[in-house]
Amino acid sequence: MAAQVLQRNARAFARPGGRILFAGRPALSVRAAAAAARRRLSVSMAAAAPKVPEAYSSDPDPEIARFQEHQRTAARPSNAEEARTLMALARSATLSTASASPGFEGFPFGSVVEFAVDAEGRPILATSTLSPHTGDLAADGRCSLTVTAPGFQSLQDARFTLAGRAVQLPDAERAAAREAYLAKYPNAFYVDFGDFKWFRLDEIKGGRFVGGFGRVGTIKAEDYAAAKPDPVAAFAAPVCGHMNADHEGDVLAMLKHYVGLTAVKARMLDLDRLGTNLQVTQEEGGASFKVRLPFVRPAEDRKGIKEVIVEMTRAARGAGGSA
């Protein structure tokens, strides 16, 4: 019976005005069935639309209004400093070149590469002649390098694109480049193979930093060169891991006390000398969003991070988490 129904339905779809069988009975015309399917799809899509967190409301209640104002003025590194930090922490990047390969000439091509940076923030690349992007750079050094924040998961997270012109290094500069590269990738034995070439972005044009929703900025070449990587960002993973595993209640208390925001969940994502970024959920099952929690004073080293977090935790506990 099922096979007969399938055969008749197939013929119905091929015939204008045909009717589809359900359990052997004519039920709907092909056109009506298609319309019903579209309606079901529309209802399904509407039901699946995520709820926008109150933190992004354009008509907020007093608590959210105070939170929004706090976030606009919350202390954080400059865009150039955050960009330099991302470049220092990134283990890989997307290198975009103008392709010189047959069939793709002139088209932008992305390749995942490893890289190091020198004291001025200039990326250093060790690339094989077997890789098409090596030929691309030799033909046209104009390129860009895109990095993302450690643990990047969504468009709420930071990323940075640096544009410039890559040049192949002369023999006199290769030893220093090799030393910087191997300091970051000590097992990169392959850089000594005969087919590897050394490049560096020497003519930095500037870049574009995106720190998440609503945080976008162009960084001038001179500002990028003058900035320094954050001194404590490299310690973020163990500190955040410890706080998230053992002290989520304290993080929630600090969020309430210093930011004035009530939430049911809060996780530390990363930190810098001026504060920490949290992923916050205000209600069970609700969408989460990022929140900046500034430190009460800068922390310039790992010891300073521990001291300021302990101080802020005790203050928040003593105040009962109230703003």
Q: What is the pLDDT of residue 49?
A: 67
In a domain, 253, yes or no: yes
pLDDT one-digit tens code per residue, 35-88? 666 666 555 555 566 777 777 777 888 888 889 899 999 999 999 999 999 999
Q: What is the pLDDT of residue 30?
A: 58
| CA–CA–CA angle 97, 159, 307 (5° rounding) | 145
**Alpha-carbon span 278 to 289, nearest angstrom:** 8
Q: What is the pLDDT of residue 308?
A: 97
Same domain, 71 and 108: no
Backbone phi, psi, residue 202, to 5°: -90, -35
Could you list the beta-strand ranges (E) of the chain: 19-22, 25-29, 93-98, 108-113, 116-117, 123-128, 142-148, 159-168, 196-212, 215-220, 265-272, 275-281, 288-294
Answer yes or no: is pLDDT of 234 > 50: yes
Rounded to the nearest 10°, the torsion over CA 300, 303, 304, 306 is 140
pTM: 0.80
In a domain, 307, yes or no: yes
Same domain, 142 and 243: no
Q: What is the pLDDT of residue 14?
A: 46
Where does residue 17 fall: left (phi above 0), alpha (psi -120 to 50 degrees), or beta otherwise? left
Q: To 10 degrees, what angle do helices 302-318 and 236-246 make?
A: 30
Q: What is the pLDDT of residue 74?
A: 95
Domain limit, last residue, from 183, 205, 228: 228
Q: How many CB atoms lie within 10 A of CB 241?
A: 11
**Alpha-carbon span 224 to 178, nearest angstrom:** 23
What average pLDDT does the segment 164-180 reach? 96
Q: What is the pLDDT of residue 211?
A: 92
**Higher per-residue pLDDT: 17 or 213:** 213
Q: What is the pLDDT of residue 64?
A: 86
Domain that holds residue 99: 79-228
pLDDT band at 160 (very low <50, low <70, confident <90, very high): very high
In a domain, 12, yes or no: no
**Alpha-carbon span 164 to 206, nearest angstrom:** 7
Domain limit, last residue, from 228, 247, 282: 228
In a domain, 1, yes or no: no
Contact criterion met (CB below 8 Å) for 68 and 118 = no
**Higher per-residue pLDDT: 60 or 20:** 60
In a domain, 159, yes or no: yes
SS3 assignment, position 78 = coil
Contact criterion met (CB below 8 Å) for 95 and 113 = yes
pLDDT band at 12 (very low <50, low <70, confident <90, very high): very low
**Alpha-carbon span 47 to 14, nearest angstrom:** 33
> Residue 267 sits in a domain of what CATH number?
3.20.180.10
Q: What is the pLDDT of residue 5?
A: 47
Give the total number of structural domains in the chain: 2
What average pLDDT does the segment 88-94 reach? 97
Same domain, 88 and 178: yes
Same domain, 197 and 307: no
Same domain, 154 and 191: yes
Domain limit, last residue, from 180, 204, 228: 228
Answer yes or no: is pLDDT of 22 > 90: no
